[in-house]
């Protein structure tokens, strides 16, 4: 995937063929950012215009800054999400500034969830969550096409069952 260039060898084992998630996730996340940051900021601006108190600008700006930051990074962050199915484990990669690579061994999978909220469904997306016995492991793949999510779920649970039996 294009945007993985420059992430360094550390997060790109053997130049393998990583798969990205759907670009529609960019839109979905933008909408979410808009709701969380855009609406309050608009409200703040309206209040500023109506009441003309300069200090209203302060919380508005304080709220707008992270929103703008999130919106600016959004597309790159989504493009940075990738996964790689290997023989024995699934690798999930996330983040640009703070990078994270998670190795989930198939034989350790306990259950796999597919979640799709209303916004996700409207855009035809689903989120796959992988759960092992470690509560601390946060391995999820947002922005998958439902078909791909179902395929991954079936494949991973089959592989998991085959490998888990022994241990």
Partner 1 sequence: MRPEAKGRADRRRASALEPGRGQEAGAKAASAAGPAWRRLHPATPYLRSWGVILAIIAVGLFNMAENLADALDAAGRLGWHWLALGLAAVLAVAFAWAFCWWRRARFRLAEGVLELVTGVVFRQRRTVRLDRVEAVDTVRPLVPRLMGLVKLRVESAGGSDSAVELAYLKVSDAARWRREILQAAASARQAAEAPGPGETEAAVTGAGMAGDAAGDAIWDGAGDGAGDGAAAGPAGGAAVRERADRTAAKAFEGAAGDQTASGIGLSSAGAPGPPKSVETQVGELLGDSDARAPELFAVPTARVLASMALSIWVWLAVAAGVAAVAMLIGGELDIAAGLLPVVFGAGGVIWGRLMSDFGFAAKQTSRGLTLSHGLTTRVSQTIANGRVLAVTLSQGPLWRRFGWWRAQMLVAGYGADSEQKQSVLVPVADRETVRRAIWAVAPALAQPGAWELVTSAMDSRGAAPGFTGEPARARLFDPFAWKREAFALTEEMLVLRGGWLMRTATVLHHGRIQGIELSQGPWDRRRDLASVCLHLPSGPVSAVIPHLGGADAWALVEGEAARLNAAMRAALAARDQPAHDQPAAHAAADAQESVEQRSPRAPDSACLPRFRW
Choices 4-12, 24-32, 50-58, 72-80; region in contact with partner 1 by CB under 8 A: 4-12
Contact between 13 and partner 1 by CB under 8 A: the answer reads yes
Query: Within positions 42 to 81, which residues make up the interface with partner 1, using CB under 8 A?
Result: none
Q: What are phi and psi of 34, to 5 degrees?
A: -60, -45
In 3D space, the residue among 81, 97, 96, 98 whose CA is nearest the CA of residue 139 turns out to be: 81
β pairing state of 19-20 and 126-131: unpaired
**2 versus 6: smaller Cβ distance to partner 1:** 6
134 belongs to the binding site for partner 1 (CB under 8 A): yes
How many angstroms separate the CA atoms of 126 and 150, rounded?
Answer: 9
Residue with tokens 């703070």: 98
Q: What angle do CA 104, 107, 109 make, to 5 degrees?
A: 60
Answer for which of 62, 111, 121, 161 binds partner 1 (CB under 8 A) is: 111
Measured in degrees and rounded to the nearest 5, phi and psi for residue 38 equal -65, -50
Q: Which of 25, 139, 141, 149 binds partner 1 (CB under 8 A)?
A: 139
Query: 92 pairs with which residues across the strands?
Result: 83, 102
Contact status: 16 vs partner 1 (CB under 8 A): no
Output the smallest distance, CB 19 to partner 1, in A.
Answer: 19
Contact positions with partner 1 (CB under 8 A) in 144-163: 163
Which residues contribute to the site for partner 1 (CB under 8 A)?
8-11, 13, 88-89, 97-105, 107-108, 110-111, 131-139, 163-167
């Amino acid at each position: 995937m294009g945007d993985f260039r420059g992430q360094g060898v550390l997060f790109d084992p053997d130049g393998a063929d990583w798969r990205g998630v759907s670009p529609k996730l960019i839109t979905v996340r933008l909408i979410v950012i808009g709701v969380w940051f855009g609406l309050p900021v608009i409200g703040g601006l309206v209040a500023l215009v109506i009441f003309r108190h300069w200090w209203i600008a302060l919380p508005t700006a304080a709220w707008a800054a992270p929103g703008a930051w999130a919106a600016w990074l959004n597309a790159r962050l989504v493009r940075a999400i990738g996964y790689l199915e290997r023989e024995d484990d699934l690798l999930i990669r996330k983040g640009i500034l703070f990078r994270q690579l998670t190795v989930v061994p198939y034989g350790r999978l306990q259950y796999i969830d597919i979640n799709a909220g209303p916004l996700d469904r409207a855009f035809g997306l689903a989120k796959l969550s992988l759960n092992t016995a470690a509560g601390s492991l946060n391995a999820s793949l947002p922005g998958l096409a439902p078909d791909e999510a179902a395929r991954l779920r079936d494949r991973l649970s089959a592989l998991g069952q085959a490998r888990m039996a022994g241990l």
